[in-house]
Each structure stands twice: as structure tokens, then as C-alpha cells.
Copies of this chain bind each other. A is one copy, B any other.
Amino acid sequence: MSKGVTAKSEDYGRWYTDVITKAQLADYGPVKGTMVIRPYGFSLWESVKSAFDNRFKATGHVNAYFPLFIPKSFLSKEAEHVAGFAKECAVVTHHRLMANPDGDGLVVDPESALEEEVVVRPTSETVIWAMYKKWIQSYRDLPLLINQWVNVVRWEMRTRLFLRTTEFLWQEGHTAHATAEEAEEEAKKILEIYREVAEDVMAIPVFTGLKTDAEKFAGAERTYCIEAMMGDKRALQAGTSHNLGQNFAKAFGVTYQTEDNREEYVYATSWGVSTRLVGAVIMTHGDDKGLRLPPKIAPHQVVIVPISRTDEDKQNIRQFIEPILNEFKEKKIRFHQDWGPNSPGFKFNEWEMKGVPLRLEVGPRDVEENQVMLVRRDTGDKTAIPKDTITTRVENLLHEIQDNLFQQALKFRKENTCTVKSFDKFKSIIENNGGFVQCGWDGDAKTELKIKEETKATIRCILPDGDISGKTCVYSGNPAKYEVIFAKAY
């Protein structure tokens, strides 16, 4: 903990990994591509999770649990879906190990081969729609608004902690509706929840909009997304909400009886956010001293660092801060006291690395003067605060820090989002400055592919309120059909 991290400007990738390691957010698991989420990182995920979960429940969704294992045959039921996931599936083929007859250790018992291999879920549409077929008969069973918080596996070759790991944690919502309109409304409602939590809770500004056909979910009619700009100006897809139309209902034969006794296929949505969001927090707010956490999700909002030489100092400080801590508890301010053996300087570095929004220092002189020192992690500002105003001050500062982190990220995104008309300018920005390029697109998948091949930039989203009047496609020069955001992405 004593040494710092690689500077962002020097090597962004190493900076990112350094922060994760030194703030003890995560570690590599023993199987390649897997991740251990350490307690501090997990606590962050628990905060994010509960922000979403509360909103899902408030809008009528309920949680459930569907099995990890999916019969291999299910994956091939929806044509696009299989193409999207079959190539990166962990496959369970046997159910027993045995002592190695030819030497040490264990081998797979060949007699334990499964009749049909099972796949570890990469996502659960197929198993869920197999169940919905049993559960849905009539319009009275609709809408069905189910979510689950689970682990999923996609066998990735190039992995990166939080952003792309073989196994990750996520929520996946799967809803069934009587009409196309209701499904569309649901997909948009969830998108708005995603935007709200990203911006108002995690302090990450996002663009919301539609994915192009090339970028949408395998099996969806329409994919909505939230897209954020990371500290290296790359885009991160932070959440997706899919209108699946009747694709899965048809693949699994899920119909319902309408009020007027017709038999109709059900309409569906699915939507998810994952532990990738922890990566987004790090990359949006982190600096060369480490993490900077938005107060709303910080495991500790205030860290108390007592500065004491003698046992008597310690006792005086403990007495002095006791009423403050009681007030914190009452106001539900999450705090942590660091009475450990390390030096104050070491502790300052450690808690800065861990991104705690406020540091409260208190030494014998502060006790005498009936005050404490408050230090903001976002700005470094240090102020002496009289004891009797401390709780109000902390509450206000936590709001300010939350807001400031959002405003800083928004400013950074604005500074690195250019509207362009020519492809030369487009290329020059993507190659030199990086960041987001806002421009017209003719809606042709070929154009999109050409641009990707030439620049590695992809369409992150089609802007919902894009203005195309008089605009042309940045590549083809044809009339623009959409206004879009291009960027290189994680």
C-alpha cells in the first residue's frame, strides 16, 4: 500500500490494474480469466446492486433463481442466439473425478459422461423461456416481471478485471408481456433506471440510445444501451435493455390466451448490468492517487484517522469523537475508524487509494481546539471544522462530492465529444485525440463496417433525439438517417 500506482498518463491499462490491486478490489482467480472480488470491491458491488434492486422492486419486478446449467440443445433454439453464444460456452461433459490409475492426482471418470452435455449459462433467456412456457397460459399471467442476480460464464480469451472476465456477476431481467407496446415500454423503463443509477448514484454520465443491428444482442429486435466515456476516452457499454419481440416466445412456443380467447405469442424483454460497472466507476473517477468513490456507493463515506502518540492522546480522542460518531450513526453516514499501528501518512495514502470521499483527522491539538480536520478526496481541500457543526458539514460535503464527481466526468466527456461532418476529421479525431465522435450515418450496415475496419471505431449508440435535418453520412455522404456516437470501445 505504501507505493503508488502507475500514472494514468503513462500507461492507462497498468494504472487501472494497479488501482484494482492496491485498493484491494479484486484479484485474479486460479483458472485463467476468472476473478476474485475482494471484500472492498464486493462491498462496492453490493451498494450498486441494492441501488438497482430497490428500483426494480419499486417498479413491480420480483427476484427469482434459474439454474446454472442449460441443456446444450436449448442454445440452438433461437437462431441468432446460438451464433452469439455457442463459441464461448463452458461445457460440462462429466460428473465425476477418480484417482488417476496411472499416477498421481485425479482424472475425469470416463464412465461419468453425461447423456447430453450441459452448458454453463452465458445468459438465461433459453432456460427461462422454457419455464415461461409452463407458467404462462392466459393474459391473467401477464405481465411476468422477473429478475435474477447471478453468475454467468462466457469463455473469453482476452480478459481484464471487472471489464471482461470468464465469469462475472450480473442481474438479468426477463419479462413477458401481452403486447408489443408493453414490451417496448418495459425496455425503455429499464433503460431509464439504468441511466438514473449510472448518473445519480454512480456519478457516471451516460448517453442512452439504440444499438445498430450489428451491435445489438443476439436474438433481440432492438437493444437499448447506456454508454459511458472512460478516463482514456474510450466508450464502455454499461448496460443493455433488449426488446426481444416474439423471438424467444416463438422459439420456445410460449403463447397465451387473450381476453377475447385468441391464442397469441408473448412479447419479451431482457436486460442486464454487471460487475463491469465497478470497472466503470474506477475508470470514470480514479486519479493518480487511486480510486475516487461517489459517496452514494462508497463502502465508507468517511474514514477517521486519529493522530496520536500516546495512550492518553488516544483516550482523549476516543472520548472526543464518540458523540460525533453517534451522530453519524443516527444520520446513517457510513464511517470507518482506522486505529491501526501504521503512521498517519501511510493511512492517508491508503484511504486515498481506496477512494474514501472524506477523511476526518483528529489529533490532541484539535481536541483542545474543539475541532476536527476534514479532507476531501475529490479536491484535496482541507478545512478545520468546529465540532458542533461537523455532522451537517459532512452531510453537505458528501452531496457536494457526489455532484462534483458527476460534473467533472460530464465536463471531461463534453471536452472529448466532437461533432464532425467529414470522414477526414473523423479519422483524425479517432486516431489522435480519441473520444466520442457525433455525426450523421446513413443507416447502412456496410458503411458501419467500413468505418470500423478503417478506424476500429464502432457505433456506440443511435441518439434518440438526434437531429438529421440537412445532415449527411460522415462516410458515404448520403443523407443521414441517424445521428450517432462513434468511439473505440472496451
Interface residues in chain A, defined as those with a beta carbon under 8 Å from any beta carbon in chain B: 27, 29-31, 34-39, 42-43, 45-46, 62-76, 82, 86-98, 104-106, 108, 112, 117-120, 127, 130-131, 134, 140, 146, 150-151, 153, 155, 166-167, 169, 341
Indicate whether A66 sits within 8 Å of B131 (C-beta atoms), given known contacts A91-B94, A95-B89: no
Q: Which of B35, B127, B140 contacts A67 (CB 8 A)?
A: B35
Residue numbers in B under 8 Å from A134 (CB-CB): 27
Residue numbers in B under 8 Å from A72 (CB-CB): 97, 105-106, 108
A174 to B96, CA, bound (A): 25
Residue numbers in B under 8 Å from A88 (CB-CB): 95-96
- Minimum CB–CB distance from A111 to chain B (whole Å) comes to 12
A151 to B88, CA, bound (A): 21
Query: Is the CB–CB distance between B106 and A29 below 8 Å?
Result: no
Query: Is the CB–CB distance between B117 and A108 below 8 Å?
Result: yes
Query: Is the CB–CB distance between A87 and B96 below 8 Å?
Result: yes
Q: Which of B27, B39, B82, B86 contacts A96 (CB 8 A)?
A: B86
- Minimum CB–CB distance from A97 to chain B (whole Å) comes to 4
Query: Is the CB–CB distance between B95 and A92 below 8 Å?
Result: no
A146 to B90, CA, bound (A): 28
Residue numbers in B under 8 Å from A64 (CB-CB): 36-39, 42
Query: Is the CB–CB distance between B74 and A30 below 8 Å?
Result: yes
Query: Is the CB–CB distance between A153 and B93 below 8 Å?
Result: no
Q: What are 8 residue pairs bridging A and B, where the CB atoms are less than 8 Å apart in the complex?
A: A30-B74, A31-B69, A35-B67, A72-B108, A89-B96, A92-B93, A97-B119, A140-B341
Tell which of A68, A104, A146 has the most Cβ of chain B within 10 Å: A68
Query: Is the CB–CB distance between B92 and A86 below 8 Å?
Result: no
A38 to B92, CA, bound (A): 25
Q: Which of B46, B63, B93, B104 contacts A42 (CB 8 A)?
A: B63
Q: Which of B69, B89, B130 contacts A97 (CB 8 A)?
A: B89
Which chain B residue lies CB-closest to A165? B67
Query: Is the CB–CB distance between B86 and A153 below 8 Å?
Result: no
Tell which of A36, A65, A104 has the most Cβ of chain B within 10 Å: A65
- Minimum CB–CB distance from A35 to chain B (whole Å) comes to 7
Which chain B residue lies CB-closest to A104? B76
- Minimum CB–CB distance from A167 to chain B (whole Å) comes to 5
Query: Is the CB–CB distance between A91 and B89 below 8 Å?
Result: no
Query: Is the CB–CB distance between A39 and B63 below 8 Å?
Result: yes
Query: Is the CB–CB distance between B108 and A91 below 8 Å?
Result: yes
Residue numbers in B under 8 Å from A65 (CB-CB): 36-37, 42, 45, 169
Query: Is the CB–CB distance between A67 and B167 below 8 Å?
Result: yes
A334 to B98, CA, bound (A): 50
A37 to B112, CA, bound (A): 27
- Minimum CB–CB distance from A192 to chain B (whole Å) comes to 23
Q: Which of B34, B89, B117 contacts A69 (CB 8 A)?
A: B34
Query: Is the CB–CB distance between A93 and B91 below 8 Å?
Result: yes
Indicate whether A27 sits within 8 Å of B131 (C-beta atoms), given known contacts A65-B37, A169-B65: yes
A74 to B31, CA, bound (A): 11
Residue numbers in B under 8 Å from A130 (CB-CB): 30
Residue numbers in B under 8 Å from A146 (CB-CB): 39
